[in-house]
Chain A
Amino acid sequence: MPDQQRKTKRTLTNLGLMLTGIVFLHASFSSPTASAASGQTTSGDPEISLDGYFPDQSMWAEKTIAKYAKAKDTPGAPLAMLKIERLNVEAPIYVGTDRLTLDRGVGLVKGTAYPDEVGNIGLSGHRDSFFRPLKDIKLGDKIEMRTLEGVQDFEVTNISIVDALDVSVLDSTDTTVLTLITCHPFYYVGFAPDRYIVRATPVDDMMNFDKQKSIHDTTISAKSGIQ
């Protein structure tokens, strides 16, 4: 095959593989079930966008609705999105559990694993806003976590109530575990004394991350093979 033809074929093959990658990424971040999507900052860094996002507030306390309205436009994109479709829960995840953070989403407990890391991912949310629907969660319910890396699905494996001082639920783990925390009882005047803990484990460990990674790897290896 003449050099020119070989070059043209190589270029077209590469272009085809790149397009496959782009189509996959697009499909990954614009699933019809997700209202949040990836976007870009003004600096060009990718981030999770909250354009068009608004949480279901039908179970929220009035004061928390007001707090959300005030806090939602605070600068800073979420790390990830949490979704429990059966309970109509969809919440942005931010780092920390200070009041402002919990007013605008759910908070990643400092010292626990990040959403796309292996370990115990501790997420805390208000019992009278984002996490109030957890009162109806059941074993086997599906939880979806969306990051810029992809989507990871979890299944609820344990529900318990512990003392507010029982931090063992945040102990690090060798495998990926999702721990959702909210105050208990759900309806309580004052500072609730206990915590409602929902534990979930990956349905198919890193399934979606792997899918995305494999496409990327194929692109690289195919390129290598041609060269």
Chain B
Amino acid sequence: MKLIKTIVVACAFSAVSAYAMDPVKSETTCAQLGEKYEATAEAKERFADLAGSCEGVYEIDGALYVRSKMVVRSRRGNTVRVYVPATDHTFEVTADEDARVWIGGRKMRVRSLNKGDEVGAYLSVDKFANEIVDEIHFATEDDHAEAVIVAPVEEVEALPVTG
């Protein structure tokens, strides 16, 4: 069964500035999410693997998201291959020219990403324990919440991650 989840707004860990979807730290903790996921054996098993990937729970426009990360494996033009530790899978996404990512508190073009960069990502709490990402929502120059660019992703083959 293919599982689906969405990464919402790739942005840097530090200093997310005045953006309409500026994440707000939630009172919910990663540990509390773990308790929630103990509801099913499958989710519990997955969450045990993912616990280290949860770097905080944030609220964006009233919904809860887990802050995690993705690692840039390669980039050619606007096409980026990223490893998402929370899923242990690697994905390819081709972003629109207007798509932006937050790096060091500044909105940057996807072209500015380099191999090895670790980019912050927010994943829907409800789907955090899923394995497959199906799209990435990028920020734009526009600061309105709905002004995101949705880019579909495809899983790509990669060598195993060993620490």
Binding site for B on A (CB under 8 A): 61, 64, 97-100, 102, 107, 109, 124-129, 131, 162-167, 169-170, 181-183, 190-193, 195
Given contacts A164-B83, A165-B74, contact A126 B162 (CB under 8 A): yes
Contact with A along B142-163 (1 / 0, CB 8 A): 0000000000000011111111
Interchain nearest-CB distance for A75 vs B (Å): 14
Assess whether B90 is interfacial by the CB under 8 Å rule. yes
- Pair A165/B158 contact, Cβ less than 8 Å: yes
Interchain nearest-CB distance for B10 vs A (Å): 16
Interchain nearest-CB distance for B6 vs A (Å): 22
Assess whether B12 is interfacial by the CB under 8 Å rule. no
- Pair B159/A164 contact, Cβ less than 8 Å: yes
- Pair A191/B83 contact, Cβ less than 8 Å: yes
- CB < 8 Å: which of A64, A169, A170 contacts B163? A64
Given contacts A165-B81, A191-B118, contact A181 B73 (CB under 8 A): no
- CB < 8 Å: which of A97, A107, A125, A163 contacts B74? A163
* A97 CA to B49 CA, complexed, in Å: 13
Interchain nearest-CB distance for B26 vs A (Å): 26
Binding site for A on B (CB under 8 A): 49, 71, 73-74, 81, 83, 85, 88, 90, 115-116, 118, 156-163
* A195 CA to B73 CA, complexed, in Å: 12
* A83 CA to B158 CA, complexed, in Å: 26
Cβ contacts under 8 Å, A193 to chain B: 73, 115-116
Most chain A CB within a 10 A radius of its CB, from B74, B116, B158, B162 = B162
* A178 CA to B126 CA, complexed, in Å: 41
- Pair B88/A124 contact, Cβ less than 8 Å: no
